[in-house]
Amino acid sequence: MSMSSHDQVRPMIWAGDHLRLLDQRLLPGEELWLELRESEAVAQAIREMAVRGAPAIGIAAAFGAALAAREADGERTKLMAALATLGAARPTAVNLEWALQRMRGLIEQTDARAWADALLAEAQAIHAQDIAANHRIGELGGALIERGAVLTHCNTGSLATGGFGTALGVIRSAWSDGRITRVYADETRPWLQGSRLTAWELVRDDIPVTLLCEGAAASLLASGEVSWVVVGADRIAANGDVANKIGTYGLAVLARHHGVKFMVAAPLSTVDMSMSAGADIPVEVRAEEELLGCGGVRVAAPGARAWNPVFDVTPASLIDAIVTEAGIVEQPGLAGMHELFGQRA
């Protein structure tokens, strides 16, 4: 099913008895939809990043849990094992565990004969709530942006969420309000979420986007053109430290050095108040081959090895604002985290 240039991108669609998933590994060159009918297939899609993005993998896992409920046919042990497999698919984004915890709570409260319908309804609710949250985040975060250029990192749009996006939702909102003069996007090695996915989304929206390699970000922020760096998150600790795509921490240091404001946009499902500080956040390290090559073709010299952490942690002290659907937490020290985030969904 191809999409016209102005369709709202929906990377995930429940199709009656299976999950249709846009395979993000092939974008922008090919729009291929996977049809996932087993929970293990959903876990594999998350592991292999056919679907990626903190909120998106939480939503996908929720639909995977609904498929697992059908597979389990009333056997609690089998269902819980399938949820454990989904939860182990990727370690950093707390949205995955958050969604599965909602499913586990529902399982305890529901008769086994109703599991399949109840978990599907919950997955659809999580999906709808995420889209609504993103529009609210877009409004709140967009209003912070004075007229100027912005720089974003990785992909935080409809492909990374249930729809509309977090940081990209802020950019969409601010752009439509005429607050942004230019959007810059890091290509975001090694998986190229910026040049492959963010650029694909923004071009479809008729929002001009200028790509840069991460190494050029320092010169761009030194130029004075950029007023905000706007990024997403995979897990926000109780003290405001933020785990996000590798390279985010470096951008935050550069932004502070050059007097550029730094915004993190994320739904409450990304906040982990059980984790006191960013040092405790598990940072995923993926296969060396993902960094040694590009597009499946090795580019590094034979014999070279690679270190491939795909997230880093930005201390709260470098963040000017964390924007969620519940409101904004700003410096100093992101006071108010507990009041605001203690009510996480």
SS3 call for 88: coil
Judged by beta carbon, residue 39 or residue 267, the one nearer ligand LNRAV4D5 is 267
Binding ligand LNRAV4D5 by CB under 6 A: which of 120, 154, 183, 229?
A: 154
**To 10 degrees, the CA torsion angle through 306, 307, 310, 314?**
-140
Footprint (CB under 6 A) of ligand LNRAV4D5, residues 296-325: 310
Judged by beta carbon, residue 118 or residue 152, the one nearer ligand LNRAV4D5 is 152
| Tokens describing residue 137 | 């985040």
Q: Is 89 in the site for ligand LNRAV4D5 (CB under 6 A)?
A: no
CB of 170 to ligand LNRAV4D5, least distance (A): 11
Strand arrangement, sheet containing 261-265? 209-212, 180-186, 148-152, 226-231, 261-265, 321-324, 327-330
Q: Is 193 in the site for ligand LNRAV4D5 (CB under 6 A)?
A: yes
Q: Can you tell me the distance from the alpha carbon of 86 to that of 283, in angstroms, rounded to the nearest whole number? A: 18
- Residue 214's contacts (CB-CB under 8 Å, 6 or more residues apart) are 186, 187, 188, 189, 247, 250
Q: Is 85 in the site for ligand LNRAV4D5 (CB under 6 A)?
A: no
Q: Which of 205, 234, 241, 312 is catalytic?
A: 234
Q: Is 196 in the site for ligand LNRAV4D5 (CB under 6 A)?
A: no
Q: Known catalytic residue: 73?
A: no
In sequence order, what E strands does 251-337 have? Answer: 261-265, 271-272, 293-294, 297-298, 311-314, 321-324, 327-330
The answer to whether residues 12 and 59 touch, using CB atoms and an 8 Å cutoff, is yes
Q: Can you tell me the distance from the alpha carbon of 168 to that of 270, in angstroms, rounded to the nearest whole number? A: 16
SS3 call for 277: coil
Binding ligand LNRAV4D5 by CB under 6 A: which of 85, 166, 195, 324?
A: 166
Name the closest residue to ligand LNRAV4D5 (Cβ): 232
Site string for ligand LNRAV4D5, 226-255 (x = CB under 6 A): -----xx-x---------xx----------
Consult the annotation and say whether 52 binds a ligand. yes
Angle, alpha carbons 56-58-60 (nearest 5°):
70
Consult the annotation and say whether 155 binds a ligand. no
Nearest Cα neighbor of 50 from 159, 153, 129 is 159
Judged by beta carbon, residue 232 or residue 278, the one nearer ligand LNRAV4D5 is 232
Q: Is 163 in the site for ligand LNRAV4D5 (CB under 6 A)?
A: no
The answer to whether residues 41 and 66 touch, using CB atoms and an 8 Å cutoff, is no
CB of 247 to ligand LNRAV4D5, least distance (A): 9
Judged by beta carbon, residue 193 or residue 308, the one nearer ligand LNRAV4D5 is 193
> Using CB under 6 A as the criterion, which residues of the chain lie in contact with ligand LNRAV4D5 when the complex forms?
52-55, 154, 156, 160-161, 166, 193, 231-232, 234, 244-245, 310
Write out the catalytic residue numbers.
234
